[in-house]
Structure 1
Amino acid sequence: MNCEQIKQSVSIRVVLESYGLFPVKENKRTAFYFALDREEKTASLSVDFIKNTAFDFGTGKSYDIISIVQTKNKCDVSTALEYLSKFDFSNSTNDNIEASEELEYTILKIVDICHPALLDYLKSRKVLGCKDLVKEIHYRIKGRYYFGLAFHNNSGGIEVRNKYSKICLGPKDISLIKSTNEHNSELAVFEGFFDYLSYRTIEKEISSSDIDYLVLNSTSMLFHAEEIIREYKKISLFLDNDISGKITGEKILQINKNVENCSLFYQDYKDLNSWLIR
């Protein structure tokens, strides 16, 4: 993989998060961050999540993910590439995949899952027993027809997954799933819905507990969940065992001190689903 390919293989958002940098102001495509190389009161670093680049209005410098690492680590390109190699290139794809709300799309139908390819996909991830927690969606983008698993978020957006793609139709947001008990004191937090399905699969094999579930759908959506996290007496974290998961866990601990890091249970695996399909 050459430098140009690497520049588009890891989300700039995830790279910035690895340094504890989060948006000060954000919209669908862009966000403002504080500068990489100085302290400032007004955020001047404009980040374009679609192009995976940044521009500092204070200095006039442009950045990609390699030059961001060079600036923060004060290193050469080779060392920056070594730092970026710690990220999961297969899953940390560019935020283009999560920006489909800016595309023209048409939802054709949403039904109970019956397509053999989707059933096989759920089976391969060992969560077929929880197929009732997701739906089957058929949609069209730029005249092309697609289908996948559908998982709704709190803003009416739909997280869509299949074996080959990962997108969000409509606004990106968290998904809060409340149990039948209205007064639960525990909240289980997941990054993506496959980890949520994995937990529910495991939960069926033991005793079902009265807890609520929060799927971030992206660690960048944590700011949408802060008030929710404050409401619970106990937070159980099932985050990924990577840099972004660690940073997100630390930020949640700042919001609510009653946190249990359950990722230690699958510490030798990337995430809960990877442990389940081991």
Structure 2
Amino acid sequence: MNCNKAKNIDLLLYLIKNGFKPQKITGKNHWFLSPFRKEKTASFKVDTDKNTWYDFGSGHGGTIIDFLQKYYSCSISEVLNKLKENTFSFHQQKIISPHTKKGDIIKVKALQNKYLIAYLKEREINLELAKEFCFEVYYTFDSNKTYYAIGFKNDLGGFELRNQFFKGCIGRKHFTTIKRDYSTVSVFESWSDFLSYLTLKNTVPEEDFIILNSTALIKKVLEIVNQYCVVKSFFDNDESGSNTLQIIKDNTELEVFDYRYYYKNHKDLNAFLINSKMANC
């Protein structure tokens, strides 16, 4: 199995075969309830002519490879291996909306759980740098079972949560700022891209950082962005990333440096990091 063969797999048939049912059909477009969150109106589109998908709720899309990467939070090589072995298990995970306020945090501690550390290793993120900015969060949604995940704290005290099977937020959804009184700010979509940047640098550069935690929050950070002299952006190579970058450019007189050309052949900075590590093996 390689990328070209994988991209030729019929995405619509693959989804239907694995339990996803289209809610409506308009010409070449088949609309599904998004696999990435709970919703009542279908916002996940499959274009049968292009054999691609687009999720209007998150602004992400792409091929079957991109879908499986996002759905299972795994690398391209893992997607290809699992497609080859046909080992993807398409049970509908209990996905909590990234904007949910439900749930209770049981405890927060230093990052040391071996499964969470293994997840970071899979994503090639430097563990010491991750431990500097992330936590091990234990939480519950129904009081019957306690879960644990890597937690990245936002400026309102909420946590972005991530493990091998779950991506969501507990507490109020908000952005994260790391202010260290430098004149340069680097802006990221997610904490994994932020930590990938630090991993590639092998240090914490002399910069401030803004992690959006959702591109929908971009307008809320514009005032902060304009406090700096230099703005560096590290968004995803997709429509949402381009739109987010344009919003910054349209609302500042500063020059905004787009660093995506460094990883133009990859979905995002973490995908670039993973493939760079694999290439050096």
TM-score, with structure 2 as normaliser: 0.69
Aligned residue type for 1:159: E
Instruction: Name the CA shift for 1:222/1:51 in 2 (closer, same or farther; >3 Å).
Output: same
Within 5 Å, give how 1:238-277 maps onto structure 2. Answer: 238-256=234-252, 257-277=254-274
Match of 1:138 in 2: 138
Instruction: Give the distance between the partners of 2:237 and 2:95, measured in 1 at CA.
Output: 20
Q: Residue 132 of structure 1 aligns to a residue in which SS?
A: helix
Asked whether the equivalents of residues 197 and 269 of structure 2 are also in contact (C-alpha less than 8 Å), the reply is yes
Instruction: Give the distance between the partners of 2:187 and 2:114, measured in 1 at CA.
Output: 30
Match of 1:8 in 2: 33
Percent identical pairs in the alignment equals: 29
Asked whether the equivalents of residues 110 and 136 of structure 2 are also in contact (C-alpha less than 8 Å), the reply is yes
Match of 2:213 in 1: 217
TM-superposed CA distance for 1:114, in Å, is 1.1
Which of 62, 67, 82 is equivalent to 1:86? Answer: 62
Instruction: Give the distance between the partners of 1:6 and 1:129, measured in 2 at CA.
Output: 43
Deviation string for 1:12-70 (max 9, x for gaps)?
xxxxxxxxxxxxxxxxxxxxxxxxxxxxxxxxxxxxx85253xxxxxxxxxx3368x9x
Asked whether the equivalents of residues 189 and 215 of structure 1 are also in contact (C-alpha less than 8 Å), the reply is yes
TM-superposed CA distance for 1:246, in Å, is 0.9
Asked whether the equivalents of residues 192 and 218 of structure 1 are also in contact (C-alpha less than 8 Å), the reply is yes
TM-superposed CA distance for 1:230, in Å, is 1.3
Instruction: Give the distance between the partners of 2:149 and 2:97, measured in 1 at CA.
Output: 14
TM-score, with structure 1 as normaliser: 0.70
**Structure 1 runs of 4+ with >6 Å offset:** 92-95
Instruction: Name the CA shift for 1:270/1:52 in 2 (closer, same or farther; >3 Å).
Output: farther
Q: Residue 98 of structure 1 aligns to a residue in which SS?
A: coil
Aligned residue type for 1:261: D
Instruction: Give the distance between the partners of 2:150 and 2:223, measured in 1 at CA.
Output: 29
Structure 1 residue 156 and structure 2 residue 157: aligned? yes
Match of 2:78 in 1: none
Deviation string for 1:173-223 (max 9, x for gaps)?
0000112xx2x2111000000011111112226xx5321000000100112
Instruction: Name the CA shift for 1:82/1:271 in 2 (closer, same or farther; >3 Å).
Output: closer
Instruction: Name the CA shift for 1:199/1:78 in 2 (closer, same or farther; >3 Å).
Output: closer
Instruction: Give the distance between the partners of 2:44 and 2:105, measured in 1 at CA.
Output: 37
Instruction: Give the distance between the partners of 1:178 and 1:95, measured in 2 at CA.
Output: 32
Instruction: Give the distance between the partners of 2:233 and 2:71, measured in 1 at CA.
Output: 20
TM-superposed CA distance for 1:166, in Å, is 0.5
- Give the number of aligned pairs: 216
Instruction: Give the distance between the partners of 2:260 and 2:162, measured in 1 at CA.
Output: 23
Match of 2:225 in 1: 229
Name stretches of at least 5 consecutive residues in structure 1 with no aligned partner.
Answer: 12-48, 54-63, 70-76
Instruction: Name the CA shift for 1:92/1:186 in 2 (closer, same or farther; >3 Å).
Output: farther
TM-superposed CA distance for 1:6, in Å, is 5.3
State the superposition RMSD in angstroms.
Answer: 2.7
Which of 24, 43, 46 is equivalent to 1:65? Answer: 43
Instruction: Give the distance between the partners of 1:271 and 1:199, measured in 2 at CA.
Output: 11
Q: Residue 137 of structure 1 aligns to a residue in which SS?
A: strand
Asked whether the equivalents of residues 104 and 170 of structure 2 are also in contact (C-alpha less than 8 Å), the reply is no
Asked whether the equivalents of residues 106 and 141 of structure 1 are also in contact (C-alpha less than 8 Å), the reply is yes
TM-superposed CA distance for 1:229, in Å, is 1.1
Instruction: Name the CA shift for 1:51/1:209 in 2 (closer, same or farther; >3 Å).
Output: closer
Instruction: Give the distance between the partners of 1:259 and 1:234, measured in 2 at CA.
Output: 7
